[in-house]
């Protein structure tokens, strides 16, 4: 056979190489393993959220545990006292105001037909329209939405079971992390070099400070909300003004996303059932107005001072985390973002600023001088331009 310079055929061209089936099998196995891993991560995403919440709760309660340990308490006992003390406080608050909320809700349901009759009568007299009677409307609601109510009841029941499971999981992890304390940090640092250990402990301390500042800012906002609400309810003559104000302040700040609506629903229901429709609408208007004041002024100012964040940045971060991670994401958005910002400020290089009027406000003399100051600045700019042209040989 003559050598025509062509490369010899190493396999039969009619058959694929021997390695092709092996590659196909390995590729199929890799695809199935990747799909399984992705599904497993999706199933564990809820657990990761629980662990993140437990970690931040641990950081929030750590100062109390440290204070008790410094006063002679054992670490485990101090962790149990801090954890169960916070749980007892939460249960007492719910027990005090939950009963009041249920009673007022039952009264509201009882007076709803009378309120509908009054409102529908006013609308019929004012606009000359006929509205269905309350009995007919109730029958239509039961007929059209009875199945939805039943399915909604089942959904609420499953949600309550999920909430109990989440609370138990977060509580157990939180207690174990607080009880471990330095041992947990030591177990993490044993896997790192001494330089890395120093960095991890520094990041831990930064996160601790930011979470504490976040809790402090929430407490301040809750106190402001309770104070303003108490003054308004006292002026309106609403019963239980102080407990209702305290409930509104605490729930609106420590229940993410829907806390404002839950905290404001109780005083509205109390005013509506005990005083009447005008007073209930007045309390509702106050809740909405104060929420706007808090969102636009109080919350940005206090969050910026406590977390050293720009008010616009803090507002956008809460919206972004809430849209991606839901209610828990909105609640944890500020401490997470503040921690990231603090880490960036610590480890990223910062440079000197250039001299520019865009980096500072006008001077006081220029603001007071008005037109003369602007003319003087324009003259200086013109002289600078002339000097630059002369230096370039243009003028």
* Sign of the alpha-carbon torsion through 21, 25, 30, 35: positive
Distance between CA atoms of residues 205 and 62, nearest Å: 11
Distance between CA atoms of residues 192 and 170, nearest Å: 27
For residue 263, give every residue at least 6 positions away whose Cβ sits within 8 Å of its Cβ, in sequence order, or none.
225, 247, 248, 249, 250, 251, 252, 255
Print burial letters for 94-129: b (CB count within 10 Å at least 16), e (below 16). Answer: eeebeebbeebeeebeeeeeebbeeebeeeeeeeee
For 302-333, write each residue's pLDDT tens digit: 766 566 666 667 677 777 777 777 666 776 77
For 239-289, write each residue's pLDDT tens digit: 878 888 888 888 888 765 567 777 888 888 888 877 888 888 899 999 989
Distance between CA atoms of residues 14 and 48, nearest Å: 53
Distance between CA atoms of residues 272 and 285, nearest Å: 13
pLDDT of residue 368: 47
Average pLDDT, stretch 367-389? 55
Residue bearing tokens 């301390």: 205
Structure token digits, residue 14: 């009619």
pLDDT of residue 13: 59
pLDDT-based confidence at 395, cuts 50/70/90? very low
For 11-65, write each residue's pLDDT tens digit: 555 666 777 778 888 888 888 888 888 888 777 777 887 888 888 888 888 888 9
pLDDT of residue 81: 93
232: pLDDT strictly greater than 90: yes
Distance between CA atoms of residues 84 and 379, nearest Å: 71
390: pLDDT strictly greater than 60: no
From its phi and psi, is residue 17 left (phi > 0), alpha (psi between -120 and 50) or beta?
beta
pLDDT of residue 317: 77
pLDDT-based confidence at 149, cuts 50/70/90? low
pLDDT of residue 84: 92
Of residues 244 and 135, more confidently modeled: 244
Under DSSP, the state recorded for 9 is: P
For 151-206, write each residue's pLDDT tens digit: 655 555 667 777 788 888 888 999 999 998 888 889 888 888 888 888 888 888 87
Of residues 300 and 57, more confidently modeled: 57
Residue 14's H or E segment, with its range, is none
Structure token digits, residue 178: 């607080």
From its phi and psi, is residue 370 left (phi > 0), alpha (psi between -120 and 50) or beta?
left
* Mean pLDDT score across all residues of the chain: 76
Residue 71's H or E segment, with its range, is none
Under DSSP, the state recorded for 359 is: G
pLDDT of residue 366: 47
* Sign of the alpha-carbon torsion through 273, 286, 233, 279: negative
Of residues 306 and 362, more confidently modeled: 362
């Amino acid at each position: 056979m003559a050598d025509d310079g062509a490369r010899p055929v190493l396999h039969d061209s009619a058959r694929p190489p021997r390695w092709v089936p092996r590659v196909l099998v390995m590729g199929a196995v890799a695809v199935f393993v990747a799909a399984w891993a992705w599904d497993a991560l999706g199933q564990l995403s809820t657990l990761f959220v629980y662990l993140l919440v437990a970690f931040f709760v641990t950081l929030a309660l750590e100062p109390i545990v440290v204070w008790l340990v410094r006063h002679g308490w054992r670490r485990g006992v101090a962790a149990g006292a801090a954890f169960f003390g916070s749980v007892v406080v939460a249960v007492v608050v719910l027990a005090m105001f939950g009963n009041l909320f249920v009673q007022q809700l039952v009264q509201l349901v009882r007076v709803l037909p009378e309120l509908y009759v009054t409102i529908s009568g006013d609308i019929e007299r004012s606009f000359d329209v006929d509205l269905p009677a309350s009995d007919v409307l109730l029958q239509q609601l039961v007929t059209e939405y009875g199945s939805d109510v039943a399915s909604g009841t089942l959904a609420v029941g499953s949600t309550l079971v999920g909430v109990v499971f989440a609370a138990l999981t977060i509580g157990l992890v939180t207690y174990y992390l607080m009880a471990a304390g330095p041992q947990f940090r030591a177990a993490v640092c044993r896997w790192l070099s001494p330089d890395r250990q120093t960095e991890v402990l520094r990041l831990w301390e930064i996160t601790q400070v930011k979470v504490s500042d976040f809790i402090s800012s929430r407490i301040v906002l809750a106190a402001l909300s309770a104070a303003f609400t108490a003054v308004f309810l006292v002026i309106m003559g609403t019963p239980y003004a102080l407990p209702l104000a305290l409930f509104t302040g605490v729930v609106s700040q420590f229940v993410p996303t829907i806390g404002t609506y839950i905290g404001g629903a109780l005083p509205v229901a109390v005013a509506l059932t005990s005083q009447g429709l005008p007073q209930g609408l007045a309390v509702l208007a106050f809740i909405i107005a104060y929420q706007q004041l808090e969102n636009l002024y109080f919350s940005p100012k206090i969050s910026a001072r406590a977390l050293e964040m720009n008010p616009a940045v803090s507002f956008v971060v809460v919206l972004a985390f809430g849209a991606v991670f839901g209610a828990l994401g909105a609640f944890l958005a500020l401490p997470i973002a503040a921690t990231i910002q603090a880490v960036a400020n610590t480890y990223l290089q910062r440079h000197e600023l250039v001299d520019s009027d865009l980096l500072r406000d006008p001077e006081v003399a220029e603001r007071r001088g008005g037109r003369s100051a602007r003319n003087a600045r324009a003259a200086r700019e013109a002289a600078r331009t002339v000097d630059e042209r002369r230096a370039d040989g243009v003028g």
